Amino acid sequence: MSPSDRLFPADPAQRAIARELYGHARDLPIISPHGHVDPAILADDLPFPDPARLIVVPDHYITRMLLSQGIRPAQLGVATLDGSPYETDGRAIWRRLAEHWYLFRGTPSRAWTEGVLTEVFGIDVPLGPATADEIYDAIAERLSRPEFRPRALFNRFNIEVLATTESPVDDLRHHANLAADGWGGPGGRVITTYRPDNMADFEWPGWRTRIAELATLTGIDTSTFTGFLSALRSRREAFIAAGAVSSDHGHPTARTLVLSAPEAAACYARGLAGTADAADAEAFRAHMLVEFARMSIEDGLVMQLHPGSMRNHYQALYARHGRDVGGDIPAPTNYVDALRPLLDAHGDDPRLRVVLFTLDESGYTRELAPLAGAYPTLYLGAPWWFLDSPDGLRRFREAVTETAGFYNTAGFIDDTRAFCSIPVRHDIARRADAAHLARLVAEERLPLGEAAETAADLAYHLPKRVFRLER
Amino acid sequence: MSPSDRLFPADPAQRAIARELYGHARDLPIISPHGHVDPAILADDLPFPDPARLIVVPDHYITRMLLSQGIRPAQLGVATLDGSPYETDGRAIWRRLAEHWYLFRGTPSRAWTEGVLTEVFGIDVPLGPATADEIYDAIAERLSRPEFRPRALFNRFNIEVLATTESPVDDLRHHANLAADGWGGPGGRVITTYRPDNMADFEWPGWRTRIAELATLTGIDTSTFTGFLSALRSRREAFIAAGAVSSDHGHPTARTLVLSAPEAAACYARGLAGTADAADAEAFRAHMLVEFARMSIEDGLVMQLHPGSMRNHYQALYARHGRDVGGDIPAPTNYVDALRPLLDAHGDDPRLRVVLFTLDESGYTRELAPLAGAYPTLYLGAPWWFLDSPDGLRRFREAVTETAGFYNTAGFIDDTRAFCSIPVRHDIARRADAAHLARLVAEERLPLGEAAETAADLAYHLPKRVFRLER
Amino acid sequence: MSPSDRLFPADPAQRAIARELYGHARDLPIISPHGHVDPAILADDLPFPDPARLIVVPDHYITRMLLSQGIRPAQLGVATLDGSPYETDGRAIWRRLAEHWYLFRGTPSRAWTEGVLTEVFGIDVPLGPATADEIYDAIAERLSRPEFRPRALFNRFNIEVLATTESPVDDLRHHANLAADGWGGPGGRVITTYRPDNMADFEWPGWRTRIAELATLTGIDTSTFTGFLSALRSRREAFIAAGAVSSDHGHPTARTLVLSAPEAAACYARGLAGTADAADAEAFRAHMLVEFARMSIEDGLVMQLHPGSMRNHYQALYARHGRDVGGDIPAPTNYVDALRPLLDAHGDDPRLRVVLFTLDESGYTRELAPLAGAYPTLYLGAPWWFLDSPDGLRRFREAVTETAGFYNTAGFIDDTRAFCSIPVRHDIARRADAAHLARLVAEERLPLGEAAETAADLAYHLPKRVFRLER
Closest-CA distance, A5 to chain B, in angstroms, reads 7
The whole-number pLDDT of residue B3 equals: 61
In this structure, the answer to whether residues A257 and A351 fall within a common structural domain is: yes
Q: Which of A13, A374, A406 sits opposite C10 (nearest CB)?
A: A13
Rg of chain B taking only CA atoms, in angstroms: 22
> Closest by alpha carbon to C287, among C258, C316, C266?
C258
Average pLDDT over residues B103-111: 98
Contacts of A315 (CB under 8 A, 6+ apart): A327, B343, B344, B347
A347 part of contact set with chain B, CB < 8 Å: no
In this structure, the answer to whether residues B159 and B144 fall within a common structural domain is: no
pLDDT in tens, B245-260: 999 999 999 999 999 9
In this structure, the answer to whether residues A89 and A206 fall within a common structural domain is: no
Closest-CA distance, B390 to chain C, in angstroms, reads 8
Contacts 24+ apart (CB under 8 A), B141-145: B143/B47, B143/B48, B143/B49, B143/B50, B143/B51, B143/B54, B144/B47
d(CA A96, CA A362): 36
- Is the model's pLDDT at A186 over the cut of 50? yes
In this structure, the answer to whether residues C153 and C143 fall within a common structural domain is: no
CATH code of the domain containing A101 = 1.10.2020.10
Of C471 and C152, the one with more pLDDT: C152
Closest-CA distance, B47 to chain A, in angstroms, reads 45
In this structure, the answer to whether residues C170 and C254 fall within a common structural domain is: yes
For chain B, give the mean pLDDT.
97
The whole-number pLDDT of residue C77 equals: 97
CATH code of the domain containing B192 = 3.20.20.140
Q: Which of A105, A329, A392 sits opposite B336 (nearest CB)?
A: A329
Interface of C with A in 352-411 (CB under 8 A): 359-362, 386-387, 389-392
- Is the model's pLDDT at C187 over the cut of 80? yes
Q: Cα A93 to the chain's mean position, in Å?
A: 26
> Closest by alpha carbon to C121, among C196, C220, C55, C34?
C55
| A343 contacts C314 by C-beta, under 8 angstroms | yes
Average pLDDT over residues B15-41: 98
Interface of A with B in 114-133 (CB under 8 A): 126
Closest-CA distance, C161 to chain B, in angstroms, reads 25
DSSP string, B153-195: HHHHTTEEEEE--B-TT---HHHHHHHHTTS-STT-SEE--B-
| A286 contacts A278 by C-beta, under 8 angstroms | no
Pairing of strands A354-356, A378-380: parallel
- Is the model's pLDDT at C1 over the cut of 60? no
Residue A293: pLDDT band with limits 50, 70, 90: very high
| C361 contacts A365 by C-beta, under 8 angstroms | yes
pLDDT in tens, C349-360: 999 999 999 999
Contacts of A331 in chain B (CB under 8 A): 336-337, 366-367
Residue C3: pLDDT band with limits 50, 70, 90: low
Q: Do B446 and A106 touch (CB under 8 A)?
A: yes
Largest CA distance in chain C: 67
Contacts of C310 in chain A (CB under 8 A): 336-337
Q: What is the DSSP letter of B461?
A: I
The whole-number pLDDT of residue B1 equals: 42
Q: Do A313 and B340 touch (CB under 8 A)?
A: yes
Which of B101, B131, B148 corresponds to the end of one domain? B148
Q: Do A367 and C315 touch (CB under 8 A)?
A: no
For chain A, give the mean pLDDT.
97
The whole-number pLDDT of residue A115 equals: 97
Q: Do C444 and B387 touch (CB under 8 A)?
A: no
Which of B95, B125, B148 corresponds to the end of one domain? B148
In a domain, B245, yes or no: yes
In this structure, the answer to whether residues C65 and C82 fall within a common structural domain is: yes
The whole-number pLDDT of residue B471 equals: 65
In a domain, A287, yes or no: yes
In a domain, C1, yes or no: no
Q: Do A362 and B367 touch (CB under 8 A)?
A: no
- B19, B125, B329, B358, best to mutate vs chain C, most C CBs in 10 Å: B329
Contacts of A392 in chain B (CB under 8 A): 365, 402
Average pLDDT over residues C363-371: 98
Q: Do B401 and A107 touch (CB under 8 A)?
A: yes
Residue C94: pLDDT band with limits 50, 70, 90: very high
In a domain, A421, yes or no: yes
d(CA A226, CA A234): 12
Contacts of C390 (CB under 8 A, 6+ apart): A402, A443, A445, C7, C108, C111, C428, C431, C432
Q: Which domain holds residue C114?
A: 49-147
Q: Do C373 and B313 touch (CB under 8 A)?
A: no
pLDDT in tens, A423-457: 999 999 999 999 999 999 999 999 999 999 999 99
| Chain B: partners with 3+ C-beta pairs within 8 Å | A, C
In this structure, the answer to whether residues A389 and A422 fall within a common structural domain is: yes
Q: Which of B107, B386, B387 sits opposite C405 (nearest CB)?
A: B107
Q: Do B450 and A102 touch (CB under 8 A)?
A: yes
Average pLDDT over residues C61-88: 97
Contacts of A402 in chain C (CB under 8 A): 106-108, 386, 389-392
Q: Compute how many other C-beta atoms are within 10 angstroms of the C-beta atom of residue C81.
A: 10
Number of domain units in chain A: 2
Average pLDDT over residues C217-241: 98
Q: Compute how many other C-beta atoms are within 10 angstroms of the C-beta atom of residue B26.
A: 18
- B21, B366, B397, B440, best to mutate vs chain A, most A CBs in 10 Å: B366
- B445, B450, B461, best to mutate vs chain A, most A CBs in 10 Å: B445
In a domain, B42, yes or no: yes
Q: Do C314 and A375 touch (CB under 8 A)?
A: yes
- Is the model's pLDDT at B2 over the cut of 60? no
The whole-number pLDDT of residue A43 equals: 98
The whole-number pLDDT of residue A1 equals: 42
Interface of B with C in 15-74 (CB under 8 A): 64-65, 67-70
In this structure, the answer to whether residues B326 and B409 fall within a common structural domain is: yes
User: What φ, ψ does residue C6 adopt, rounded to 5°?
Assistant: -50, 135
- Is the model's pLDDT at C434 over the cut of 80? yes
Residue B320: pLDDT band with limits 50, 70, 90: very high
Q: Which of A11, A402, A405 sits opposite C391 (nearest CB)?
A: A402
Residue A471: pLDDT band with limits 50, 70, 90: low
In this structure, the answer to whether residues A380 and A298 fall within a common structural domain is: yes
| Chain A: partners with 3+ C-beta pairs within 8 Å | B, C
In this structure, the answer to whether residues C76 and C184 fall within a common structural domain is: no
d(CA C451, CA C463): 17
In this structure, the answer to whether residues B223 and B339 fall within a common structural domain is: yes
B447 part of contact set with chain A, CB < 8 Å: yes
The whole-number pLDDT of residue A244 equals: 98
Give burial (CB, 10 Å; 0-12/13-18/19+) of B258.
Answer: middle
Contacts of C330 in chain A (CB under 8 A): 336, 366-367, 370
In a domain, C7, yes or no: no
Q: Do C375 and B68 touch (CB under 8 A)?
A: yes
Average pLDDT over residues A181-209: 97
Q: Do B445 and A329 touch (CB under 8 A)?
A: no
Upper half-sphere CA count for residue A335 (Cβ side, 13 Å): 27
Q: Which of B14, B405, B444 sits opposite A104 (nearest CB)?
A: B405
**Which percentage of chain B shows pLDDT scores above 90?**
98
Pairing of strands B329-330, B309-310: antiparallel
For chain C, give the mean pLDDT.
97
In this structure, the answer to whether residues A37 and A175 fall within a common structural domain is: yes
d(CA C263, CA B289): 41
In a domain, A4, yes or no: no
Average pLDDT over residues A407-412: 97
Q: Which of C14, C347, C407 sits opposite B316 (nearest CB)?
A: C347
The whole-number pLDDT of residue C214 equals: 98
In a domain, A348, yes or no: yes
Contacts of A406 in chain C (CB under 8 A): 105-106
Closest-CA distance, A122 to chain B, in angstroms, reads 18
Interface A-C: count of C-beta contacts within 8 A: 130
Q: Do A365 and C392 touch (CB under 8 A)?
A: yes
Which of B148, B169, B203 corresponds to the end of one domain? B148
- B391, B424, B425, B427, best to mutate vs chain C, most C CBs in 10 Å: B391
C446 part of contact set with chain B, CB < 8 Å: yes
Q: Do A367 and C327 touch (CB under 8 A)?
A: no
